[in-house]
Amino acid sequence: MASEDTLQRPLSCSGCGVKLQTEDASKLGYLPDQALERDPVICQRCFRIKNYNEAAAITLDQGEFLKILGHVASTQALVVNIVDIFDFEGSIVGGLQRFIGNNPVVLVVNKIDLLPRGMNMNKIVNWVRKQAKEQGLKVVDVVLCSAKRNMGFDRVIEVLESHRGGRDIYVVGATNVGKSTLINRLIQGYSDLDSELTTSRYPGTTLDLVKIPLDDGKFIIDTPGIVYSSRMTELVSRKDLGTVMPEKPIKPMVFQLNPEQTLFFGALARFDFVKGERQSFTCYVSNALEIHRTKLERADELYADHAGELLTPPSKEGLDELPKWTKHEIRVPKGSSSDIFISGLGWIRANGEAGALVNVHVPKGIKVLLRDALI
């Protein structure tokens, strides 16, 4: 027989954690009265994401998020920072250490299933440790996994158990790094709960703290994802996300380029090899994104005539929604092993020993940088 507590109206959505209400359909947490009969009870927004892959245009106030994250420093907790290996610099939480105090950090690197097959995972771990240190993040452990493919999950559990020490676990990360998917794996494996967190490819799915009880009376606490507008995935339309965000292992595309040749990544980015010896550039982007090569002298004309048609995504209508392009000049040092990274889109490995001068054109605000080669 159900207890009195279970018969009471639930206070928060079991999918995203937001406070439930039945009064205003335009505000967070809304659900129709009849939806209170569902088990588990989820808000209308989560219902639409779950059943129709449709997201409402609602985002969490950033001040509220920082307030939530600032609270972690005053607790005794293990902090799990989930990052996306495909968009590492775009998804790592900048200044995280400042918000969490002295609590230990485990870096869980998700979506390793997107890397080309046959990768040396020890090299990936060493690369991640180096990059995290440069970001000022002190990590007690690095774990590689794919929550979606259930790869490396046992190792994630093992590491969390070894570092938790009977404390709560706070899970933090940018939007769309797979936080909710990973936590759903935890729920499935280590809890009797019937509910699961709402997951989708849309940014900002989790809107408030979601607390999942553990057997020892502590909790796994999922925090809202930080929205970084410096990622391409935050700018493109929902229908273009499937093209930009890879679903399968990346198949690298190698281009032998002479100086003054250009690569277009749809109409989202342009890569100009301005100066240097003839050399190869390897592109690590979604297999669904078409790359077009042309001469630098024809690049402006090609974009003007074909953006939104031959060069897509976005469509012609979508072009107006993007900020104007800005140019990033990058010098690849001689003898270096470097990636030109475009947040939310992927990266281009410079393979030449002689160095190169390249220009990258992207919508204003998108993060572009030179880094040590991941692969």
- Residues 13-25: pLDDT tens digits? 877 777 888 887 6
Quick one: pLDDT at residue 181? 78
- The candidate with the shortest Cα–Cα distance to 14, out of 262, 152, 207, 164, is 207
- Residue 78 β-bridge partners: 169
What pLDDT shows up at residue 180? 75
Q: Bridge partners of 284?
A: 347
Amino acid at 339: D
Tell me the longest C-alpha to C-alpha distance in the chain. 77
The CATH number corresponding to 62-228 among 2.20.25.570, 3.40.50.300, 1.10.287.610, 1.10.3720.10 equals 3.40.50.300
pLDDT digits (tens, 9 = 90+) for 283-314: 999 999 999 999 999 999 999 999 999 999 99
Residue-level pLDDT at 270: 98
* Residues in the chain where the model's pLDDT stays below 50: 1-7, 53-62, 197-206
Looking at residue 192, its pLDDT comes to: 56
CA angle (124 as vertex; 266, 329 as ends), nearest 5: 40
DSSP string, 40-103: S---HHHHHHHHH----S----HHHHHHHHHHGGGS-EEEEEEEEGGGHHHHS-TTHHHHHTT-
- Specify whether the CB–CB gap between 113 and 249 falls below 8 A: yes
C-beta separation of 13 from 46 below 8 A: yes
Domain with CATH 3.40.50.300 in the chain: 62-228
Facing residues of 254 across strands?
Answer: 282
CA torsion 9-15-20-24 (nearest 10°) is -140
Distance CA 214, CA 169 (A): 10
